[in-house]
Amino acid sequence: MKIEIFGKGCAKCERTEAIITETVKRLGIDAEIVHVRDLNEIVGRGVMVTPAVAVDGVLKISGRIPSESMVRQWLSK
């Protein structure tokens, strides 16, 4: 599983990464977590508002911090 966090490094983006990392650890899931900070790549992937998160290439959220329960839902599918 590959989880991508899109954002230049603002506080909301960092919080999003922390929530995802903590949730992955709690669930014991083997996942690659990548923080994409390059603006050209972010826009090239269709993300217009950050923070944003994609799981296995599918955009799950954009423009807000996900809750732990949202992340759990994404990872259980």
State the catalytic residue, choosing from 2, 8, 9, 10.
10
Helix (H) or strand (E) holding 6: strand 2-6
Angle subtended at Cα 13 by Cα 1 and Cα 20, rounded to the nearest 5 degrees: 35
- Does residue 30 carry a catalytic annotation? no
State the catalytic residue, choosing from 13, 52, 55, 61.
13
- Does residue 42 carry a catalytic annotation? no
Beta carbons of 2 and 36 less than 8 angstroms apart: no
Catalytically active residues are 10, 13
